[in-house]
Chains A and B, each alone.
Chain A
Amino acid sequence: MEHADPAEVERPDADDLALDGNAAAGELESLFGPGATVSLATCAHCGTEQAVARLGTWSRGPGLVLRCCACGRVAIRLVRAPTVLHLDLNGVTRLRIPSGGR
């Protein structure tokens, strides 16, 4: 049973403002390394596993909001403030990050 925040479920009308996780690559790689966008994220809401590059990305605000490409709900929030980085991974149950070794 889910009681999702309605504001979180509602997708912005202007979907054209949405990019994808490729647009967040610089910020995400600074945290998770060069494999960040090919990492696989499992959505905490619907269970879909998707490459981080495929997450819908809204980057026009003061931070980044990344949403599941299947259900549209928030997966990752990231805000860089002058002295602290806020990272909310509440919408992701698992990240599989390639470690670089072959």
Chain B
Amino acid sequence: MKLLAATLGVLSAIGGFVDIGDLVAASQAGARFGMGHAWVLVLGVVGICAYAEMAGRIAAVSGRAVFDLVRERLGPRVALLNLAASYLVTVLTLAAELGGVALALQLASRVSYLLWVPVAAFAVWLVLWRMRFQLMERVFGLAGLTLLVFALALFWLPTDWAALGHGALHPGTAGQGWGAYWFVAVALFASTVSPYEVFFFSSGGVEENWSAADLADARSSVLIGFPVGGLLALSLVATATVVFHPGGVSLSTLDQVARPVVLAFGGVGLAVAALAFFAVTFGAALETGLSAAYAAAQYFGWQWGKRVSPREAARFHSVLLVSVLAATLLLSTTVDPVRLTEYMLVASAVVLPLTYLPILVVANDRTYLGDDVNGPWLNLLGAVFLLVIVAASVAALPLAVGTGMGR
């Protein structure tokens, strides 16, 4: 039953690791560079585990979610800048996820995704308005696990495991140039440590009324959920490597992402893949929608969350509603949702340190945590990882401009 306790972690991880942007980006990375980016996913999993554990512990012991800390530690001005940037990135990601839900429905129904967008948006809003938090987390956390069909496909396809392992240990450019290689690395990394994962995870802990007694559950949620998310992303890279890498096909649509599963399992595979795409993008839409509203409400100190009725948290629910509407309007301009997330990842990489630094500082503050402050090893890991985040943040823009978004 550990898995049921870990669904918050799984759902948080899905938004970061295998949302619509990553379904394409991870497959794209596999098709172009083989297993050369596997280390990025491993690094991302270790880092997000360390920081989600801190954020979960702070939420359990002090009842404060991440954006509370951002304002308390960075002050109202810098925190407002972070809020503006995070909100923009999160709502644009929400738009991409709604597009992803619609694309998954198009894959299953052959009806244009543009017709599905309003349906998807309404369904997402309805779940946010009515569904109990824990039920929502379980349904979409578990449904997202259908993406394991990609890992399963590896055993049906003529997979050369030794070559996969060799590719993972000896990253190379596969003739695409180091600029493109590093651009893809930074984009993948930024997606695995998206700030909305920790906003959502810590706020979810508060929604579930965690206390110091729940620290063990919080920890297992982190240590099961995020590695599972990483495994799902890694299996996307691996299947794309097996099916596309030798030919060097450039892929950009969900049909192509699903092809390895179709090759392995035929029509049933396509159905399961469409279901999995639907589940992970819907889950990610819930996560990003809530995260945008959590961040705003926690910056201003408004009542937030699903434990109180919407009328008692009118500002929070208004932000939720406006975010979903804004995302829907953006999509109806027929902008390509997948391209949209590529730009989002660069933007989110730049502001990453503004979210992770306050978590590390507060995780060492006894006025919040008493004796549950970080130990020396976790601090070392946190500090090293913060350096990696800063490096990615500094490199993101030059790489994006220099390589023309990794072409």
Do A and B share a complex? no
A residues apposed to B, CB below 8 Å: none
